Chains A and B, each alone.
Chain A
Amino acid sequence: MTYAFFLGCTIPARSRSYEMSSRKVAEKLDFELRDMKEFICCGYPMKASDQVSSELMGAYNLSLAEKAGLDVCTLCSSCASYLTEVAYHLAEEGPKRDEVNKRLSRLGLEYKGDTKVRHFVRVLYEEVEPKEIKKYFKRDLGDLKIAVHYGCHYLKPSEIYDNFDLADHPKSIEKLVSMTGARVVSYAGEQNCCGGPLLPVDEKTALSLAREKLDAVSDVGADALCVVCPFCSVMYDSNQKTMLSGFGTKFDLPVLYLTQLLGLAMGFGKKELGLNMNVVKPTQLLKKYFI
């Protein structure tokens, strides 16, 4: 199985541990994530300011994948959601696609409406059999209690995703976490947004939103919070420091990407999964497995 690997902006510059652990997991499962140097920003960060240009950026990326004969696989939920949305709007022939193609033709490109977009977690959920993936597991993570944060764009807006999981009562990430043996614990406000997009506009509200979740997850005694989007990770992991200085609240709650958890179960080492790069060090958690 081969996908055009869409890294986006944040991951290669700021969330390299997510990239590293995803590459390891994909390699183990024999998925090819093909690097595409021409990919640019998905367009999502510009949707609020200029929808026409942002859609054009999305279409540019989709047309590159189409030309390579590949579907797109993303790690970031915003990239997944936005590229899926653009593909959804440009699936049918019409004036909108003509307009986009007029611009793309300047680069000798055309979008014909055939590219599928998949979040890496969706690929794992849909295309890897639970029995299959277990064959690759070397460590049983049965001692861990994990809280799952789905975030907003992994499943929303639901109209653009073809119901591979329910936006209201999602199960896909929990199922993948459970395969490692870890126990998934529920907590209050599981569906709440991380607040990431507000950070540049109103830091206090953004951090308050993130703090609510960290409070709820700490209350149920989870060993870690599991995320699938770099923005959520920035809010919950990197910003625990800011919360300590801003609110005087200390959480010390490790925040792991799903791929880091799966990688641990597969037997990879701390550095291979970038676990040494997490802001809140998962020292206690790793000690349980003598890592």
Chain B
Amino acid sequence: MIENIPNIRAGLQFGHEVAKQLGDVRLSACLMCRTCTAVCPITRLNDSFNPFRFVRLALFGYIEEVLESGLIWLCSNCYACQEKCPHGVRVTDLMTALKNLGIKTGHVPREVRLQMNIIKDHGRIYPIDEFDNKKREKLSLPSLPTSCEAVSTLFHENRE
């Protein structure tokens, strides 16, 4: 019977492989209590998003499948799950690691990639222009630089 159950890949060696990809997010500490899902504000509104499922799928190495689903991007990074996990699974950090992998493998919403490129080019999500500075001046707020050289020095070599 047991040899007919497919895809049970958990094991010490395999756990190390997953940890290499995701960092030490303590997946194997998961007690399957589903507290993460119970406290998730997103699950309540959209039950296709389920942190418990991501923990289990990642633990068994179904990372590609998780990334392809695109669901990880519904995580708001609110930390409710990680704060409440009774066994120290770093659920929110897992989501961040998965999102980072999503970018590397091309499973990412266009807006997220755009935002990353704006920041790497300008040093800000909302670059400041002369018009902004005029508005600021009217409100007696100090003007801000309209360009940023530091980012190109910091990031050249690792531009996407």
Interface residues of A (CB under 8 A from B): 7, 9-10, 12-14, 16, 19-20, 23, 35, 37-38, 40-41, 45-53, 56-57, 60, 103-104, 106-107, 152-153, 156-158, 167-168, 191-193, 195-198, 200-202, 205-206, 208-209, 274
Contact = CB atoms under 8 A, between A and B. Distances in A.
Interface in B126-156: 126, 128, 132, 135-136, 139, 141-142, 144-145, 148, 150-151, 153-155
Contacts of A209: 41-42, 45, 76
Contacts of B153: 106-107
Given A40-B150, A45-B119, A56-B154, A158 B83 contact: yes
Interface stretch (B7-15, B27-35, B61-69, B105-113): B105-113
B73 to A, nearest CB: 5
B116 A46 contact: yes
- Which of B42, B100, B126, B150 is most buried by chain A, counting CB atoms within 10 A of its CB? B150
Contacts, number: 140
Given A12-B136, A191-B80, A205 B74 contact: yes
A274 B136 CA distance: 12
Nearest to B126: A13
Given A52-B158, A200-B111, A45 B74 contact: no
A240 to B, nearest CB: 18
B100 A9 contact: no
B124 interface: yes
6 contacts: A9-B125, A13-B128, A16-B136, A40-B124, A46-B120, A206-B76
Contact of A9 (B45, B99, B126): B126
Contact of B139 (A16, A167, A192): A16
Contact of A60 (B45, B124, B154): B154
Interface residues of B, number: 47
Given A13-B126, A49-B99, A50-B103, A19 B141 contact: yes
B150 A157 contact: no
B92 interface: yes
Contacts of B112: 48-49, 200-201
Interface string B73-115: 1101111101100000000100010011001000011011101
Q: Which 10 A-B residue pairs are closest in the complex by CB-CB distance?
A: A40-B123, A193-B78, A13-B126, A200-B111, A156-B79, A48-B99, A9-B125, A152-B78, A49-B116, A197-B76
Contacts of A7: 144
B145 to A, nearest CB: 6
The winner among B77, B103, B141 for most chain A CB atoms within 10 A is B77
Contacts of B150: 38, 40, 60, 107
